Structures are given as C-alpha cells and as structure tokens.
Amino acid sequence: MSSTGDWVAMLATLSLADALAGGGGVVLALTSRIVPGLFFAAIGGIVADRLNRKYVMVTAELGRACLVLSLAFAESIQYLLLVNLALEALTLVFQPAKEATVPTLVSKSELVQANSLSLSASYGTFPLGAAIFTGLASLGDNVTLGGLLPGTQEGLAFFVDATSYLVSAAFISTLPSMVRRKRPPGARRWNPMAVVRDLREGVTFVASHRRVRPVVIAMTTALAGGGIIVVLGKPYATDVLHSGPAGFPALLTGFGLGAGSGIILVTIFGPRFRHKDVLFGIALLLTGAALSAAAFVKTIIGAVGWVAVMGVGAGAAYVLGFAHLHEQADDAVRGRTFAALFSLLRIGLLTSMLLALPAAAFFDGLLPGLLATGSRDVLLLGGVTMVSTGLLTLWSVRRSLIALSHSARPEVGAATEAFRKYRKTVTGLGENAEVDRIDGGPGK
C-alpha cells in the first residue's frame, strides 16, 4: 500500500514541479528526494535502534500522510522542495526500522522469500501507481471533496497517497509488540553523547564486520552501475543503436523482466544455499558481465537481451544482499546497518547519475573502433567495475568458499558411489556379484 502511494505521489510531484517551475523544477524535485539520504540516514538508523520500531514506523507513516496531503495546496516550488525534504527524512526513519524488523517476524530460512516479496512490493507496484495516476487525470477536476481539495489531478493523487500511508499505518499497528533496547542502569533518557556513541558503534560495525562490509560496498557499486543505465539508456538506444523512441522502453522492459526472473530464481533456490554472500558475489559477476557485453552490441535486440541478463543478476543480488545483512547484523545495530546501506546507495546512485553524461562526453572519440562512442565506454567501465566488485566480494568470503568446497566433498563422494552402483546394475556386474555371494563364490 505504501509503495503504491509512493509511486503515485512521485509522478504527481514531478507533474506539479513541472507546472510550477518547468524542467528545472523537475530536477530540483528529484534532487530533494536524494540529498537528505546523504545526511539524515544515520539519524534514522539511530532512531530505529533506540525506539520501539513498530511505533517508529506508524509515526513515520502518519507524518508522511500529513505532509503529502499538504502538497495538494502547494503554490510554489520552494514549498514543494521543503515538503519533499521532510518526506524523505521520514522515509529514512521508516526504512531502517522496517528492515530491522523483518528478521524478528520471520525465521532465518524465510528471509530470502521475505526480501523477494519486499522488493516486489517496492518496485513491482510502479505500473499500478502509474495506472492510478493516469486514471486520476479524468477525475481530478471534478473531485474536490466538498472543497477540501483544489480540484486538480495532482491534488487528488496526493490525497490517494495520504490515504495509502494511513492504511499502511493501520496494517503496521497490527504487528506484535517489539521490545526496544533497554537503557543501562542510571543512564539519562536523553543523552546527546549516547547518540554520538550509537552513531560511532554503527559505523564501526559496518566498517569492521568482514561479512557485512563487502556486501554493503558491493551493493553501493552495483546501484551506481544501475544509475548509468538510467542516465545513458535513452541516448544509447536512440543515438548509438538507432532504435527510435521505442528503444529505451524496450531496455527498461527487458531489465524489469530479467529482474523479476532473478527474484523468482533466488526465491526458489536461495533458501537452500547457506552462504548467501557467495551467491551474491556470483550474481554481481553476472550483472557486470552482462552490462559489459551490452556495451558491444550493435542492435537493440542484442542490447535488450544483455540488459535482461543484467536484470537477472541485479534482482538476485539485491535480494541476496538484503537477506545476508539481515542474517549477519545483530538486532542492536541492525537499524544503523541498513541506514548506512541506504545512505551509501543514494551516494552511489547520485554520483553515477551526475558523472555518466560528462564521462560519456569525455570518452567520446578517445578510443578506436567500436569504443569510439563515449556511452559504450561508460557502460563498459560500469560493467568492469561491477565485475571487479564481484571478484573482490568473492575474495573477501574465500573462507566461505573453502568451507563450501569441504562440505561438498561428502556429497560428491555419495553421488560418485551412487553412480558406480547404477553402472554396475546396468552392466550386470552387480547381479553377478550378488549371485557369487549366494553361491558362496568370490563375492563371499
């Protein structure tokens, strides 16, 4: 419910920003949803770890409902940006609390399925949100709710989004009570130094944990590669592959179908695999290799195929990365762990989106042959970066790989023995041996 409303509000926000300030307003509106993550995510993690997470989520949803409803009456781009900043700040409180809650509600064996459902709910609801926003276009001028709404498509969309937040808060309120972290005896209820200490503990945990640090860094790098596709996908499809206006939507469709397939595969087979960080590294290799291959294709069909393969790896890596962090992060620091992840993800995405076009212009004509096109070079660079990150991730979990090879040896031996017995049965050797045993011959 909440994610569907988010997509409706995002489209309504962009439409309202365009009406208030044109294309520059759209850029400012998008930036205002990314910038708070660079500074406020750590505070959101501390709140998620210090307070009752159930009430944190309910309060955040109620606050977002009030803020987004006020956008229905926004008359200036300045007010729109301020509300956007506040909305994103509450989102950065809600997300760490939500992610930190998941392992307390499901068993360890169900974490992959839970994260698959969460990812599907977060991004799979975009078509539904877009359809709702489009459907509201014909109703916005006629629905004012007795003068409570301004009678615009955007105003009605913001009202729908506010309702979705309220419904989400009602659902969350039905969760079982969650015990918040107890204060040490004699500690003050509000201690600024305790907040600083919590922040330091969270940073230290993420930076020092040998199975958390590489996954957080790798997910940041992977999302940065995804940002390259978002920025360069349209000019690459239109100007390089000469696919026309249908090329970029085809790339997005291929990526979406691939990501869905990757999520399904991981949901089915992921719970059977104990070392999720190993699978995560392999998924990153697949993602980077596919993006690198897409840089060399000459047709839109080939690009769609490789981008679909990239989607398989990206969807699998996203689910496996979250499930792995859910398993490895202690409950006491889980909120700060995911807050650090969300902050770094935003930094990686924003950096790649800002640098993609200038980098493509810099590389244009710099290399010979097929790589004389700058967008191909940047796509290749993004793919190589992902592959390198995947290799570094696998190197960081080499102990798990060694343990995995040792644990697989008995299974390989059992499979070999079963094959030998099957071969003896087929060739008749097994029957002759059994006859020898019955007759008291050599098999005795």
**What confidence score (pLDDT) does residue 67 get?**
93
Nearest partner of 169 among 68, 261, 38, 254, judged by Cα: 68
Residues of the chain with pLDDT under 70: 38, 137-151, 178-196, 198-199, 270, 399-444
d(CA 252, CA 401): 34
Tell me if residue 368 falls in helix, strand or coil. coil
* pLDDT per residue as tens digits for the range 204-244: 777 777 778 888 888 888 888 777 877 788 888 888 888 88
pTM of the complete model beyond 0.85: no
E-assigned strand segments in 85-224: none
Structure tokens at 37: 């993550």
CB 390 within 8 A of CB 284: yes
Burial class from Cβ neighbours inside 10 Å (0-12, 13-18, 19+) for residue 7 reads buried
Radius of gyration of the chain (CA): 26
Alpha carbon distance 298, 162 (integer Å): 46
**49 with 198: CB under 8 angstroms?**
yes
pLDDT of residue 279: 87
Structure tokens at 422: 């099957």
Distance set, CA 392 to CA 210, 282, 307, 386, 389 (Å):
12, 11, 23, 10, 5
Say what the pLDDT of residue 373 is.
Answer: 86
Please report the pLDDT score of residue 33 as a whole number.
Answer: 77
Would you state the pLDDT for residue 276?
79
What is the reported pLDDT for 433?
Answer: 45
